[in-house]
Amino acid sequence: MQNLTIATAQFESRNGDKIYNLSVIEKLSRQAAEAGAQAICFHEMCITAYGHLRRLSRDQLFDLAENVPKGVSIRELINIAKRYGITILVGLLEKKDDDLYNTYVCVDGDGLKAKFSKLHPFISSYLSPGNAYVTFDLHGWKCGILICYDNNVVENVRATTLLGADIIFAPHVTGCTPSTMPGRGYVDKVLWEQRHTDPVPLRMEFDGPKGRGWLMRWLPARAYDNGVYVVFSNTIGMDDDQLKNGNAMVLDPYGEVLSEVRSFEDDFTMAVCTPDKLKKAGGYRYRNARRPELYRDILGKEHRAETRPIWMKKEDR
């Protein structure tokens, strides 16, 4: 297994504007390829934008959704990947028969390499949950995908790792939302509007417990506990009426941040994944030390899932 150079991006999607969003994906993919990246990943639902979906009817969602892999956006992504010689991972709204899914795909110049549907969707009651983990090959590395909330359920990350994943792609639209955790909450969009003339207040909010501070409580743990690379992507700026903090980053199996976007712009960062860390990291030893006979029945107990986050419950009131 050879070293793998991965780019992860942030950009401000426009609601329902696939042509614009694909143009940004192409621009950043070209720049990443020119810089030496072999793959680039983008955030959850980056082709359609995310937050506005909660206000759309079922018919409106179906109008926005596409078939995978026959849809127009997938065909365009394959063309982009072929044009620049780079593998691309993006999120979109998928329609399959009578169902809708929050789906993430991996394509290269030859076509679709992998597809995963979010296990814990909540932005719209019209979305169906995916019911399977996925692993796929990327330049000799085995990779998995978990979308946003899926990564907060630790069993999902462990299961994907046990299926052989060396790298977990973690596309998000997250941060700067209310929570029971002290210090969390929305960030005033006025700070975003003033980011070029007065950037310090916005940076303080994005770096604090509303943004990066929250990410650093759990994201490194997923990489460290499982001994895997985690490639985090997130939108930057306004996602519908909510401000998001970006911070696209690559973490290694020690839980260390290898590279991170720190700007307020549409941007990407790159890191080199080296295979030696996969077995040197503690997570590799912890996986080998497991005693599943102790907790197989405990972890498999019947349980009613509750995914809806605090900020959406507040909107329902």
Query: Which domains, from first to last, does the chain contain?
Result: 4-316 (3.60.110.10)
pLDDT value for 306: 82
CB 240 within 8 A of CB 227: no
pLDDT value for 92: 98
pLDDT in tens, 206-264: 999 999 999 999 999 999 999 999 999 999 999 999 999 999 999 999 999 999 999 99
pLDDT in tens, the chain (317 residues): 999 999 999 999 999 999 999 999 999 999 999 999 999 999 999 999 999 999 999 999 999 999 999 999 999 999 999 999 999 999 999 999 999 999 999 999 999 999 999 999 999 999 999 999 999 999 999 999 999 999 999 999 999 999 999 999 999 999 999 998 999 999 999 999 999 999 999 999 999 999 999 999 999 999 999 999 999 999 999 999 999 999 999 999 999 999 999 999 999 999 999 999 999 999 999 999 999 999 999 988 888 888 877 667 666 65
| Rounded CA separation 66/127 (Å) | 13
Residue whose entry in the numeric block shows the structure tokens 């810089």: 35
